[in-house]
Each structure stands twice: as structure tokens, then as C-alpha cells.
Structure 1
Amino acid sequence: MLNNRRTILCQFLGLIGAGFAVVNGRTVPAVAQGNALPVVVELFTSQGCSSCPPAEALLSELAQRQDVIALEFHVDYWDYIGWKDPFADPAFTERQRRYNRAFGSPYNYTPQMVVDGRDHEVGSRRSAVEARIETASMKREMARDQMETPPVVSLARSAGGDLTVTLSGDSPEQGGFEILVVGFDKRHETDVQRGENRGRKLINAHVVRSAETLARQWRGGDLTVSVPAERISGDGGCAVLVQNPQTGTIAMAGEIYF
């Protein structure tokens, strides 16, 4: 994706199914079409886990794709084994726990990739992850084609850094949706001094620094939410996820780079 794109307009719809829980500057929106409709891939990882670097490298590659919104959530449950992950947040551990409860899994693990909030895979299994992304993309296409007015999420950022999020169109499925804004950094290089990755230089991309619920119970129709710059952490950009809090399914999403 091009880092100088100021606005990304994403129009797409998640298939009903299993899974869980801006503006002064001139903007020129781009519309994602066809197979470019982005699928959300969340990697749950830790700098304290020696199995995670291959998954982090894969996520960095996925972040370059037009059809993927890639987010790297660092969890805190490996901090005790020698290296405290500087990006870990207990809230991200809880987000992973909610997903795994929905998946019927009794525990969290790393590296885990969650695709559109409905499927998951070991994050280092490239072929399996890419297959799940392809399946999710096809499901989005089929579901969108069945909608009379597919939902749209638009993001725009002012010169001062404030964000405007605009939603419109029909609700993608029954029930209310939460609107979540996720701020992320561009890239980090960390020299790990202790723990399983001692002596390694770890490279992390799209590291999530903040996640905040903007609105609850969106059921379709027009909605505009303004987000002050100080409420968004991260120097890389942000993503907006429209997510069913009961099932975790991500019905649609948008992304903008800073």
C-alpha cells in the first residue's frame, strides 16, 4: 500500500457466520474494488516467544497487500519468562481470549492469526493463512453481491491529525455492531537482551498501540464519528473495524496511513 494515501474508502461486507467480539484537509478517496476488498488479519504475538518471528515476518508481508489490513497485537502472558515486551497490553491479551472462547479453544497461544474475526490459524503457517485470506475474500464478494446497498466505511484525516469516520449503507447482518479504531506504528526494530529471543534483532510492523470503541449498536444507515488526534496512538496509521461484539465477526473495515 502507498504510505502517502490520505484517504482510503473501503466498501465491503462480511458473510454472516461464526466468529465474535475527521476534517480540514482536502482528501481524495480511493475505492477498493473486486479482490482488493480488504480482509482483516490480526496477529497475536510476543517478543518473548521464539516461535513468533516467522509469523511477524509474514504479517509484514501481508501488510503490503492491497487486499489485507494487517494488525500486530502484542500480548503480555510471556513477559514473565525473561523479556518484557514493550508493546504488550493486557487489553490485547483479553481480545485474544475473547476470540478463542468464540472458537471453542480453552487457551491463548502465540503466534496466532485471526482472519476477519471468524477463523484462526498458527501465524507461521504461510499456506494455511493465505488460504484463509482467500476464502474470506471470496465470502466477502458473494455476500456483498447479495446486498442492495452494501455498507461503506470511509476514513479521512485532517492536517491537524483528527480523524473522521463515516459509515453508510445497510447493516451487514442482524444485531448491532461496535465501531473500533485501532492505531498502529509503522515499524520497530528491537534488540532483545533476555528471554527466548536473546541476542536477536526483532522487526515488527503495524504494531498496535491503541484500540478504542467509538460507537456501539450501529445497525446500518449514516453515521459520522469525529476522533481527536490525541485519542489515536501510533505513527503509522489506523484501522477502523466494524465488529459484531457477540460473535467477533468483522463485517467491514477501513485503513488510513499517516
Structure 2
Amino acid sequence: MLPRLLITLIAGAAALLPPHAFADAQRPVVVELFTSEGCSSCPPADRLLSELSDTRTDVLPLAFHVTYWNQLGWKDPFSFAGADARQARYAQQFRGFEYTPEMVVDGKAELVGSDRSAAGTAIEHARSDGVTAATVRATRANGGVSVSIGPGVGRAHVLLIGYDARHVTAVGRGENAGRMLTESNVVRSIVDIGEWSGAALTLHADAVAGEHHVILLEADDGAIVGAASVIQPGEAAAR
């Protein structure tokens, strides 16, 4: 049994820690890839994202298919305006223009999506220095999503994202004509469902398009400060 004085000192030290010190330090690093089936430079980046999905439990990869390649011979069936809007916001933060394949790591680092070395460096940097503002727990039940966010420091938008695990597409036209493309974690929807401002918060939202759902906490500067998969009843928590 610990001496009473030591217990008191431990409790006192814990009380001095900021609320976010108790957040889940093991949250996944969020890797967003902006891609298109009409872009001949994108398949290597798509393969890298698939490898991250298959081999890294500490990374949450998400593929956003943009629409601006659609008029160049092949309409990407997974492209949607929400992907364009999200990349446009990052363009203001980084290079000032949109391009594919672009990868954004934890909302704070940007790189060419097929650059394996740069991606590895950015992911490891995010693992070391990434911020987790609050714990996030989310479950899917009764056709909707229930989200619980713990107390912490700061503010963040609460984003609900739906994605499909994998698609294989035979591309008939455009720059990738004749190729069979395998793509992972294909985002189908993104919705802002509320705002967290430091206090514990519970939200309920309708389910969105996509086989799987995740919750992101996004600070006003674009940084990802929280992330969690939406768990089906009976499932163990995963990335």
C-alpha cells in the first residue's frame, strides 16, 4: 500500500495537469489524400494510402476524391463537392492552390501524396508532437451516431465522416483508361455536426453515407486535435 503522503502528492500533481493531459494519447494520426481516378499521377498515392490502411493501426487514412478531374475524360464515381471544399480550405493554409495527389497529415503538414519518405516523416512527426485536445468516443445505433467528447482545452468543430473500406474500379476513359484501380478508405460524406468548446459534450447525429464512420475534432486553424472510429454495438474499439 502506498503511504498516505505519497498518495496525496500524486493526487495533487494530477490536479495541476491541464484537462487535455488525460486525453487519449493513442488517437490515430489522420492522413487525408486528395485524389482522382482521372489523374495518372494518383495511383501510386492510392497504393500508399491502402498500405497505411492495411498495415498501420496508429494511422487513420482517408481518401477524398475531388471533382475537378471529371471533365477530362473520366467521371470519378466517388468524387463529391465536399472533397473539393475541404481541399480548398487546405489550399488557403498551404500552397494556395489545389492539386492531386495531395496528402495532408493531421491537418498541419502537406506533401505530394506519392512521396513515401515525406509521408513517413510527417506521420512520425505527428505521432510525436500531435495534440489530443479531448477523448472522443462514438457509437452507431438505431440509425444514428452518438458522440461523447471529454473535457479539455480549446475549441474544435466536430466532423462526422463516412467512408467505404475498399473499391476496385475498371477505368474506361481518361488518363487511367484500361487500368484497374484499387482504392481504400474512400470518403463518401463529411458533415459538421457541432462545436466543442472545452466542456464535456454529447452529440447525436444521423448516420451519413459510407460503410464506416469516424469522428474528427478540427481546430479553427485546421489542425486535427481528436479522432475516433464510430463503433458498432458489440464491436471492440478500433482506429
1:86 corresponds to which of 71, 77, 87: 77
CA RMSD for the aligned pairs?
A: 1.9
1: CA distance between counterparts of 2:86 and 2:112?
17
2: CA distance between counterparts of 1:37 and 1:163?
19
2:113 corresponds to which of 123, 134, 140: 123
Residue in 2 aligned with 1:40? 30
| Structure 1: tracts of 5 or more residues without a match | 1-12, 14-31, 145-149
2: CA distance between counterparts of 1:155 and 1:132?
27
Q: Deviations over 1:74-132 (max 9, x none)?
A: 001111110011111122112101101111x1311100100011111111011110110
1:169 corresponds to which of 151, 172, 180: 151
Shift of 1:37: 3.0
Matched, 1:250 2:224: yes
Matched, 1:58 2:48: yes
**In structure 2, do the counterparts of structure 1 residues 54 and 257 end up closer, same or farther at CA, with 3 Å as the change threshold?**
farther
Secondary structure in 2 aligned to 1:51? coil
Secondary structure in 2 aligned to 1:254? strand
Residue in 1 aligned with 2:86? 95
Is residue 44–residue 112 contact of structure 1 (8 Å, CA) maintained in 2? yes
Matched, 1:181 2:152: no
Matched, 1:138 2:151: no
1: CA distance between counterparts of 2:44 and 2:146?
35
Is residue 36–residue 100 contact of structure 2 (8 Å, CA) maintained in 1? yes
Secondary structure in 2 aligned to 1:181? strand
Matched, 1:202 2:181: yes
Secondary structure in 1 aligned to 2:183? strand
Residue in 2 aligned with 1:221? 199
2: CA distance between counterparts of 1:102 and 1:33?
27
1:193 corresponds to which of 153, 165, 172: 172
2: CA distance between counterparts of 1:111 and 1:161?
34
Shift of 1:257: 5.8
TM-score norm. by structure 2 comes to 0.83
The structure carrying a bigger helix percent of its residues is 2
2: CA distance between counterparts of 1:68 and 1:204?
16
TM-score norm. by structure 1 comes to 0.77
Residue in 2 aligned with 1:238? 213
Is residue 60–residue 205 contact of structure 1 (8 Å, CA) maintained in 2? yes
Is residue 37–residue 137 contact of structure 1 (8 Å, CA) maintained in 2? no
| Structure 2: tracts of 5 or more residues without a match | 1-19, 233-239
2: CA distance between counterparts of 1:161 and 1:52?
35
Secondary structure in 2 aligned to 1:186? strand
**In structure 2, do the counterparts of structure 1 residues 161 and 66 end up closer, same or farther at CA, with 3 Å as the change threshold?**
farther
2: CA distance between counterparts of 1:48 and 1:123?
15
Query: How many residues in Structure 1 have an aligned counterpart in Structure 2?
Result: 211
Shift of 1:33: 6.5
Secondary structure in 2 aligned to 1:204? strand
The one-letter amino acid paired with 2:217 is V
Bigger radius of gyration among the two: 2
2: CA distance between counterparts of 1:135 and 1:124?
18
Quick one: percent identity of the two aligned structures? Answer: 44
